Structure 1
Amino acid sequence: MSYLLIGNISAMIGEDCIEPLSNARIRVYLPESNPGADHMTIVKGIFNHLRPLSAKEVLMKADRLLAETTLDPKGNFRLYWNELHLFTEPLELDICLDEMPAKNGNRQSRNFHLSYMIPHWKRNQEGYLAAYAYVIPAEVWSNIYRQAGAWVLTGIVRNKANGEGESRLKVSAFNAITGKKIADAYTNEYGRYTMHFNRRDLFAGQLIPIRDGRPNFGPDVYFRLYKQDQLIWEENESHAMVTARQDIAPCSSIDILYKPGIIVRATRHITGWLNSVRHFTEVRRGRSRASSAVLHRQLIVKDTPNV
């Protein structure tokens, strides 16, 4: 008799974004012979909070392991095993993070007790099928990121003219404390970007500044936007003085409202440069020698070395 448990494990970033636990491992165990108090809460249909497990705890239950698999990039999984009897008792689920999403932060195995559960098995031609899904609360996920020395930053880039999300833009985040770029990300079809970085990206080769009232040791951020590698909008260090931009938490959400204007200013600059070239050409032809002093000396020397 075969069993197939399918599902998804994700985590909340702030209040409006979900991050899949890609490449995490999920394990299902046979029930303990003497279950503890946690077991009874799940019989009533209540999810447990994610609880860290020591390496010893993981080893102690190894003989009860039924199946293990790796979550795909979207956080989906399929656990399959064979048994001779129908399960009517709770199963135990654990999750293992060998690395954080996007291979971010310090690399080490982090094991957590996920839940006890009684699957609602449905009979099909191959055997029995059940489903399970869990979303890790934002505060729990943020604490896991903090322990890994890593950050995830997300948000929506909106055009100020119509308030709609802008797709296919490159978002570059900068650390106002060091003046260096932290990370790049591209917006999806809804204008949402998600970027990952860690302590090494923030303070590579520098001492980490320790200041009172900065519990996250995070950056003060400002942004630049690019479209097809063309700068279309930018901020400077002063924009990082906003409270929401300072010492950002390990899981943060910052929306960007921009007004296109860089391209217009660049066009005006090019037009002025073309006018200067046109004026210089007229000087060369003898039409307006009286105003030639306004031209850049280096430009004259470069084009007419005999003057």
Structure 2
Amino acid sequence: MSYLLIGNISALICDDCIEPLAKGRLRIYLPEDTYPADYANRGKFNHLTQLTPKQVALKEHRLLAETVLDERGDFHLTWEQLHLFTEPLELDLCLNQMPGRASGKNSVNQYHLSKLVPHWKRTKDKYLAAYAYVIPSEHWNAIRGSYGTWVISGTVRYFETMAGQPQLKVEAYNAQNNHLLGTTYTNGQGRYKLHFGLKDMSAGKLLPVKHGQYHAGPDVYFKIYRNNQLLWEEDIQMAQSPERRAIAPCTLLNIVIKPATATRATRQLAHWLGGWSGANRQRRNQLNDFQLLAPF
């Protein structure tokens, strides 16, 4: 009899934004020799507890199946078993990079996710079960930080209506050196998700990650474009506000586009006044010249 386990694994960036763990590798292990008699009624979740290479090696002989998560974080795992499979399974997740921009870390880390007995349902030719898990944002924030990557999510809204603005280009800048961190676009509801890594933060130069420490994030400000025309540019001083300074690896930042008509009108008025005063001076000079040439 064949067994099919399907599901999804994603992570919370913030309370209302999820990112799938695309290209992560899910590994399923057979149970150890003994488990409590009531284990079938329980499940243990560990929020991605990192395993040491020795711990991974010790359980290698129990590996049952593995697969790679697709772009949406979905997976399908199949294996053959002669008897009704009621033992608990151990689920581990392997990551060698974060979703989005490349990180400054190339090593593969394996995390223990859970131990559970799936609720198998008999179909015509197989047993089928489903499993889904969303990693809490506080745990995902720590893991992203260890890889030297950041993700900013939020909504771009218009000042007067506070309605989400679709199909706008969002650019984030590092206020410490004014270099572009990353670019993305808003969706139909005005939501955006922007990724960047250490190389983007340091303008192409990879910063070393100290053992047991994470880099502080940059201070950020934004520029918004419509059809490649600059629509809204934040003052760089915005990067000094508390929510924009040394941002966490998972950060929620909403952007409000404010009208700049007063600024434009002031510039136009100054230009007009400058032109008017210049023309007046020119007329006065011409009049003076005429008076000097006129006969008595």
Counterpart of 2:164 in structure 1 is: 165
Distance in 2, matches of 1:42 and 1:203, equals 50
Partner secondary structure for residue 50 of structure 1: strand
Distance in 2, matches of 1:85 and 1:205, equals 55
State the shift of 1:33 in Å.
Answer: 1.1
State the shift of 1:102 in Å.
Answer: 1.8
Residue of 85, 94, 98 corresponding to 2:83: 85
Partner secondary structure for residue 47 of structure 2: coil
Distance in 1, matches of 2:264 and 2:141, equals 41
Counterpart of 2:192 in structure 1 is: 193
1:245 aligned partner, one-letter code: R
Aligned length: 278
Counterpart of 1:99 in structure 2 is: 97
Counterpart of 2:235 in structure 1 is: 236
Distance in 1, matches of 2:74 and 2:252, equals 24
TM normalised by structure 2 equals 0.83
**Preserved CA contact (<8 Å) 1:42 1:48:** no
Counterpart of 2:18 in structure 1 is: 18
Which aligned pairs between 1:103-142 and structure 2 lie closer than 5 A? 103-105=101-103, 106-142=105-141
What percentage of residue pairs aligned between the two structures are identical?
49
- In structure 2, the CA distance between the partners of 1:292 and 1:78, relative to structure 1 (3 Å rule), is farther
State the shift of 1:46 in Å.
Answer: 4.3
Distance in 2, matches of 1:182 and 1:135, equals 27
Distance in 1, matches of 2:32 and 2:284, equals 94
2:244 aligned partner, one-letter code: R
Partner secondary structure for residue 188 of structure 2: coil
1:115-174 CA distances to partner (integer Å, 9 max, x unpaired)? Answer: 101100011112010000011111111111111111111111111221111111111111
Partner secondary structure for residue 88 of structure 1: coil
Distance in 2, matches of 1:103 and 1:42, equals 40
Partner secondary structure for residue 58 of structure 1: helix
Distance in 1, matches of 2:136 and 2:65, equals 25
Consecutive unaligned residues in structure 2, runs of 5 or more: 208-213, 287-296
Distance in 1, matches of 2:112 and 2:179, equals 39
Counterpart of 2:176 in structure 1 is: 177
Counterpart of 1:152 in structure 2 is: 151
- In structure 2, the CA distance between the partners of 1:291 and 1:147, relative to structure 1 (3 Å rule), is farther
Distance in 2, matches of 1:120 and 1:235, equals 52
1:145 aligned partner, one-letter code: R
Distance in 1, matches of 2:138 and 2:232, equals 32
Partner secondary structure for residue 63 of structure 1: helix
Distance in 2, matches of 1:231 and 1:58, equals 51
1:187-240 CA distances to partner (integer Å, 9 max, x unpaired)? Answer: 1112111111122211237797xxxxxx85111111110011000001121111
- In structure 2, the CA distance between the partners of 1:5 and 1:291, relative to structure 1 (3 Å rule), is farther
1:117 aligned partner, one-letter code: L
**Preserved CA contact (<8 Å) 1:157 1:192:** yes
Consecutive unaligned residues in structure 1, runs of 5 or more: 209-214, 277-282, 284-288, 294-307
Counterpart of 1:4 in structure 2 is: 4
Task: Flag as ranges the 4+ runs of structure 1 deviating above 3 A.
Answer: 39-43, 204-208, 289-293
- In structure 2, the CA distance between the partners of 1:207 and 1:26, relative to structure 1 (3 Å rule), is closer
CA RMSD of aligned residues (A): 3.3
1:83 aligned partner, one-letter code: Q
Distance in 1, matches of 2:14 and 2:40, equals 26
2:225 aligned partner, one-letter code: Y
**Preserved CA contact (<8 Å) 1:216 1:249:** no
